[in-house]
Amino acid sequence: MSSTAHTSQRQDEESPLLSDGAHLQKSKPPTPLPTGQIVTLLLLQLAEPITSHTILPFINQLVSELDIVGGDERKVGYYAGLIESLFFAAEAVTVLQWSRLSDRIGRKPVLLIGALGLTASNLCFGLSRTFWTLVVSRCLCGVLNGNNGLMKTMMAEVTDETNMAQGFSLLSVTWAIGTTVAPFSGGLLSRPHDHFPNLFSNHFWVQYPYFLPCAGAAGYAAFAFVVTWIFLKETNKHRTPSQPRGDTPYSEQDPSTVLHQAEDAALAPEAPNGQFYQQAPSPPLSKLMTRPVLLSISNYAFLALLDIALFGLLPLVFSTPIELGGLGLSPAIIGTCLGTFGLLNGTLQAIFFSKIVKRFGPKRVFMTGMANFIVIYLIFPITNLCARRTGLSLFVWFLVLLQLASMAVMDMSFGCIFMFISTSVPNRQSLAATNGLAQTIISVQRAVGPAMATSLFAFSLEKNVMGGNFVYVVLILMSLSSLYLANQLPLNTWKIIEEDGPTLRN
């Protein structure tokens, strides 16, 4: 290989995703997003919130109906949180391996496996009537699902510095749409024999009252699998030179070898001296341990922990009787509340996110979102206090709406931290591994979060610690701590210096 070619290849492999930070240069117009790829990716992304949020309106009622609780509603939090935590624990064990596998076999095959995993696990969940079958089905979903990190990787691979904020905002909008539709359907379709007795009078629906919403979520995941299989194009085309094609005549080669070489040649341009490009090996994890990567992932970890704790706590508080510290809402009303959040979130992300980031910068938007956790957790005890005095009054519903609106503002932090992570990578070939590492750490945090929050809630009630409000004090203190770490981020993502890797840009 000539020195010029070698230099060109090195620049492609080691040049940053954003060569001069995430800020958009006013003189450079945004690159149009690849519509077909983006739409397909978003349809697949939609399967994630639909399959995960469908169960939120009824999970606590489902657990309360199991023999393991023994009729004590104060114990529901322990087991409901454990179910969600084991899902993320299973995901933490495998997600990095899925990301690194995608470096070898491509992004698309791994995404297809994830979609199948979502389909199968949701069907199993709907047919589960014991605590341990619920656990197994959620663990199955976690083991087979490496899609969250990979979809962020693919979005980074099909965007550039002029349209990255727009691309990641679309991921957030899609997630918001899913979190709008899923709770509505989960609350409405659960126990269909009660809501629609003429249509669902068969004994099957009495025996499996939560199968219908799970089957609907599984059906969408299967649809996403088909769309991805047909339309999604592979984005992992980084190649390293291999043996020249001309060394062995085609007539003497194995037909399968000829076919694979032809596919490789179609995916990548020909290299010097008749060489073609094959899959590059994944970088070692030690290469990822840079300050920008670790700082970005650490902030993501705080965000993920506080977020999953919130979404483990929210339906539990909403379903718990008022006298025990909650609001005593039904699954249908809980689904409506969560759907309202999704609607607010989708509107904010779709219309304002990219404009807000462009105006204030990703760091300020990220810190504002993190600060909203304090407001969100503070509203919980205030709402219950008001409900104890006045019942579900208009003011109580105003507080609930304020809390949901604060959650929508908080959710902008995700789009910002994805930008920080994607621009912190040491080189382009580290992108999937970095996202895989991030998703592994986040899965560990999310394994801890639900059990921690719901168990603290149950503990606070059982022991009457701080009037049952100890859980909120802990989470507010964690929210305050997260702001210190967030302040260490640069204003406009990362500026990459080739010799030293990413550095802070003020």
**Which CATH number covers residue 419?**
1.20.1250.20
CA distance 82 to 96: 22
Share of the chain above pLDDT 90, in %: 25
Q: Between 211 and 442, whose confidence is greater?
A: 211
Say yes or no to pLDDT of 225 above 60: yes
Predicted local distance difference test score (pLDDT) of residue 387: 93
Instruction: Write out the two tokens for 372.
Output: 């909203």
User: Among all chains, which residue has been given the structure tokens 């902008």?
Assistant: 412
CB crowding 81-116: b at 16 or more within 10 Å, else e: bbbbbbbbbbbbbbbbebbbbbbeebbbebbbbbbe
Predicted confidence at residue 238, as pLDDT, reads: 53
**Whether the predicted pLDDT of 274 surpasses 50:** no
- Does 278 map to a domain? no
* Whether the predicted pLDDT of 278 surpasses 80: no
d(CA 341, CA 328): 19
Instruction: Answer whether residue 145 is part of any domain.
Output: yes
Residue 156's domain comprises: 32-237+283-504
Question: Could you tell me which residue, 78 or 344, shows the higher pLDDT?
Answer: 344
In a domain, 256, yes or no: no
Rounded distance, CA 447 to CA 157, Å? 29
Residue with tokens 């605590």: 131
The pLDDT of 97-106, averaged and rounded, is 84
At 248 the pLDDT is 39
Comparing 138-147, 254-263, 455-464, the range with the smallest average pLDDT is 254-263
Q: Which pLDDT value is given to residue 113?
A: 92
Q: Is residue 408 part of a domain?
A: yes
Task: Tell me the average pLDDT across 436-446.
Answer: 79
pTM: 0.65
The answer on pLDDT for 417 being more than 90 is no
With cut-offs at 50, 70 and 90, classify the pLDDT of residue 281: low
Residue 19 has pLDDT above 50, yes or no: no
| Whether residue 260 has pLDDT greater than 60 | no
Q: Which of 262-271, 373-382, 451-460 bottoms out in mean pLDDT, i.e. has the lowest?
A: 262-271
Residue 257 lies in a domain: no
**Looking at residue 404, what is its pLDDT?**
92
The reply to whether 356 falls in a domain is yes
Domain presence at residue 102: yes
For the chain, the average pLDDT equals 78
Structural domains counted in the chain: 1
* Tens-place pLDDT, residues 110-120: 999 999 999 99
Nearest to 374 by CA among 282, 221, 479: 479
Strongest mean pLDDT among 161-165, 200-204, 256-260, 438-442: 200-204
| Band of residue 1 on the pLDDT scale cut at 50, 70, 90 | very low
**Residue 22 to residue 176: CA distance in whole angstroms:** 23
Q: Residue range 48-66: average pLDDT?
A: 83
Residue 104 covered by a domain: yes
pLDDT at residue 201 tops 50: yes
